[in-house]
């Protein structure tokens, strides 16, 4: 496997218009990489690409749809002249009790978080292997190994991401490394949207922070730096699921 040099890297990021995905795209670009931004909303894609500058290209994609995901990966690969790093950060959540968790919501969460990660990883992974090497980082969650009431669909999806990561690491070795980062609560628009639905959002935030031994949420930029480490500097890591959760999985 050839080494990944940040200033020469071609990086594809899904979920690139908010949260961890956006922070990761910005970090790689700041270190000289060319980045392909994938997400569903063209207006937000254009915004992030303009703010990053000439190093960014954007592609509309719904990763929960296999055809859309594969077409976007192929377009990005052609535009950048290849792919060296893939970051699967696209994800959706939403609390739902078992009584509320209908088939549509189940499939929405599973199809985006798990199937989308598979579609992108398979297409890009085979391409990178044929080209001589690469690195895939999947954004999982501390809930991959923890159960939470109201999040059965999300827990199942993220546990699947970790299992998928390990299987792909074996199948794509030795040329393509595949790892996952498992964050705890992150201060993202998705999390804030959930808190805003509570009667007292400020109190809900304090309660969320109190569940973390470090007594705070992670920032998207902190998670992006962990992703960068696994993608570029952790050259002997593959098949790992890095806990990056402020201690939630240790409590």
- The tally of CA atoms less than 13 A away on the side-chain side of residue 160 is 16
The answer for residues whose C-beta is within 8 angstroms of residue 190's C-beta and 6 or more apart is 18, 19, 91, 92, 93
Nearest to 160 by CA among 140, 136, 177, 175: 140
Do the Cβ atoms of 168 and 125 come closer than 8 Å? yes
Helices (H), the chain: 19-30, 42-52, 66-80, 103-110, 116-131, 152-172, 189-195, 201-210, 220-228
Per the omega criterion (within 30 degrees of 0), is the bond before 174 cis? yes
Active-site pick, 95, 119, 154, 228: 154
The answer for residues whose C-beta is within 8 angstroms of residue 49's C-beta and 6 or more apart is 37, 56, 57, 58
The DSSP secondary structure of 164-191, one letter per residue, reads HHHHHHHHHTTTEEEEEEEE-SB--HHH
What whole-number distance in Å separates Cα of residue 30 and Cα of residue 142? Answer: 28
Q: Greatest CA separation found in the chain?
A: 53
Active site residue 154: yes
- Partners of 12 in the beta sheet? 36, 86
- Partners of 244 in the beta sheet? 183
- Partners of 37 in the beta sheet? 13, 58
Catalytic residues: 154
């Amino acid at each position: 496997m050839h080494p990944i040099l940040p200033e020469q890297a071609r990086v594809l990021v899904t979920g690139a218009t908010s949260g961890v995905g956006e922070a990761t795209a910005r970090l790689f670009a700041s270190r000289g990489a060319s980045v392909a931004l994938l997400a569903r909303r063209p207006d937000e894609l254009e915004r992030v690409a303009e703010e990053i500058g000439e190093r960014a290209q954007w592609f509309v994609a719904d990763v929960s749809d296999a055809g859309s995901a594969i077409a976007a990966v192929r377009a990005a690969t052609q535009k950048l002249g290849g792919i060296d790093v893939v970051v699967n950060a696209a994800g959706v959540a939403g609390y739902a009790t078992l009584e509320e968790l209908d088939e549509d919501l189940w499939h929405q969460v599973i199809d985006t978080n798990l199937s989308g990660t598979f579609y992108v990883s398979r297409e890009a992974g085979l391409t990178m292997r044929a080209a001589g090497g690469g690195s895939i980082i999947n954004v999982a969650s501390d809930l991959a190994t923890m159960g939470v009431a109201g999040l059965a669909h999300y827990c199942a999806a993220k546990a699947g991401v970790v299992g998928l990561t390990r299987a792909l690491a074996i199948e794509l070795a030795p040329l393509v490394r595949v790892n996952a980062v498992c964050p705890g609560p992150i201060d993202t628009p998705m999390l804030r949207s959930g808190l805003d639905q509570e009667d007292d959002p400020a109190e809900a935030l304090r309660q969320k922070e109190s569940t973390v031994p470090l007594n705070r949420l992670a920032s998207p930029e902190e998670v992006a730096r962990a992703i960068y480490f696994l993608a570029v500097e952790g050259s002997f890591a593959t098949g790992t699921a890095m806990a990056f959760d402020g201690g939630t999985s240790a409590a």
